[in-house]
A and B are shown apart, each in its own frame.
Chain A
């Protein structure tokens, strides 16, 4: 049944697999990015194909519609301008108070927009690929978010692409704070494999007074995620280990199942 050719093929592939396994993590990461760059032309093709209907629709949009859009955008722009003036005034006041209290000055967020180009083909991880890489200044562990809330963190960086681990993946943990009077703190960790809109908030104290609907934001601990980024809202809570500590399910603010564009936050 077994011929010499079979043995050779089996041995060669097993050896190749073992060789790749035994490579140092940095070399594996580079090799992975090099192999996945083979898909780049196809990613570009898909992006162009997705843009085409939108471009065509734009070119045949009636003038009246465009004028209406311009009017709405101008109004929104004016509103945002007023809000910005208020924010600048508040920021100045905040800086003065911080200097009075000798607190460290807060640096404003720097954001870069990225397109989601691929999702993890395996069902047991939650990661995405974005079209920003080291040439755009990306580094590992930078926070990734949408206007709704936190999405995850950058896990590996290539020249033109990066991989982002999403909240709910076992490798993406975030220190979180519940916006209740006690300011209970816990760790956002993995939930079930099916529902991408839920994550687990664990290591909460046994006396935590959690109610459905309370907001959860990043605590700023851990050194990766800055303080105050919205994560989600408490769905329900339960005591664990005979009430020694509590766990809660959190409905994530960002829709991780339908990500198309995300913001990478630079320090």
Chain B
């Protein structure tokens, strides 16, 4: 799979807009009592389609953007995103990335692991996040939201690339050694 600059730009723009949207549009929070985090889903896409430096940079910038609008200590989301992205990246040759089922499962797992690791780091650092029985429901909403969002994001990225990027030129069947020369020399 070929990686290009447009894909990298799309990944970072999507991460930036996702964080902004989560902070600005509280509709899901009003309806379901929890906000869905799209960064794990974007990380799944990056880990399956981009190179390791994009995965690492997405963890850094995505984490910093998320924490800057949150009461999280700055940088706390970097490691959970990196761990998820890195683990998927290492096994990506074994994953059937084009299958929506695989995308859903990976999105769900990433959306479950990132908040759990973040909360573990927060608790280890002596912070007191707002936790209770309601957190189970919030986790459920985040997992389902992440699972639904991942194939949608994959399709969106593919569409954007198709619409904005250069299409690979189809290989010509012309071979000079098989050229049929007509007429007399």
| In-complex Cβ contact of A125 among B22, B52, B71, B78 (8 A) | B71
* Sample of 13 more A-B contacts, CB < 8 Å, known A120-B71, A122-B35, A127-B70: A17-B60, A20-B64, A20-B75, A21-B73, A23-B74, A118-B69, A119-B29, A123-B142, A124-B130, A125-B71, A169-B130, A194-B134, A194-B138
- Convert B28-55 into 0s and 1s, putting 1 for each residue whose CB lies closer than 8 angstroms to a CB of A: 0110011101000000000000001101
Tell me whether B23 and A38 are in contact (CB under 8 A): no
Which chain A residues lie closer than 8 Å to B78 at the CB level?
13, 16-17, 20
Tell me whether A122 and B72 are in contact (CB under 8 A): yes
Which chain A residues lie closer than 8 Å to B142 at the CB level?
123
Does B65 sit within 8 A of A, measured CB to CB?
yes
Does B133 sit within 8 A of A, measured CB to CB?
yes
Does A5 sit within 8 A of B, measured CB to CB?
yes
Which chain A residues lie closer than 8 Å to B132 at the CB level?
192-194
A7 to B, closest residue via Cβ: B52
**Which interface class (under 10, 10 to 19, 20 to 34, 35 or more) fits A?**
35 or more
Chain A residues 157-212 with CB under 8 Å of chain B are 163, 165, 168-171, 190, 192-195
Tell me whether A36 and B68 are in contact (CB under 8 A): yes
Does A1 sit within 8 A of B, measured CB to CB?
yes
Does B79 sit within 8 A of A, measured CB to CB?
yes
B142 to A, closest residue via Cβ: A123
* Chain A contact residues, CB within 8 Å of chain B: 1-2, 5-6, 9-10, 12-14, 16-17, 20-21, 23, 28, 31-33, 35-36, 38-39, 42-43, 46, 117-127, 129, 155, 163, 165, 168-171, 190, 192-195, 257-258
CA distance A232 to B26 in the complex (A): 23
* Chain B contact residues, CB within 8 Å of chain A: 16, 19-20, 22-24, 26, 29-30, 33-35, 37, 52-53, 55-56, 59-60, 63-76, 78-79, 82, 86, 90, 115, 118-119, 122, 125, 128-135, 137-138, 142
Give the interface centre of B34, B37, B75 by most chain A CB atoms within 10 Å: B75
CA distance A193 to B29 in the complex (A): 11
CA distance A55 to B35 in the complex (A): 30
Give the interface centre of A5, A6, A12, A20 by most chain B CB atoms within 10 Å: A20
Which chain A residues lie closer than 8 Å to B75 at the CB level?
16-17, 20-21
Which chain B residues lie closer than 8 Å to A9 at the CB level?
52-53, 55-56
Tell me whether A35 and B64 are in contact (CB under 8 A): yes
B89 to A, closest residue via Cβ: A6
A33 to B, closest residue via Cβ: B68
Tell me whether A31 and B74 are in contact (CB under 8 A): yes
B23 to A, closest residue via Cβ: A118
Q: Smallest Cβ distance from B134 to chain A, in angstroms?
A: 3
CA distance A127 to B76 in the complex (A): 17
Q: Smallest Cβ distance from A260 to chain B, in angstroms?
A: 11
Which chain A residues lie closer than 8 Å to B79 at the CB level?
13-14, 17
Tell me whether B71 and A192 are in contact (CB under 8 A): no
Tell me whether A39 and B23 are in contact (CB under 8 A): yes
Tell me whether B131 and A193 are in contact (CB under 8 A): yes
Which chain B residues lie closer than 8 Å to A123 at the CB level?
34-35, 115, 130, 135, 138, 142
Tell me whether B68 and A35 are in contact (CB under 8 A): yes
CA distance A155 to B69 in the complex (A): 13
Which chain A residues lie closer than 8 Å to B63 at the CB level?
17
Q: Smallest Cβ distance from A111 to chain B, in angstroms?
A: 24
CA distance A14 to B82 in the complex (A): 9
Tell me whether B135 and A193 are in contact (CB under 8 A): yes
Given A122-B71, A123-B34, A165-B71, is A170 in contact with B29 using a C-beta cutoff of 8 Å? Answer: no
Tell me whether B20 and A122 are in contact (CB under 8 A): no
CA distance A20 to B66 in the complex (A): 14
CA distance A194 to B31 in the complex (A): 11
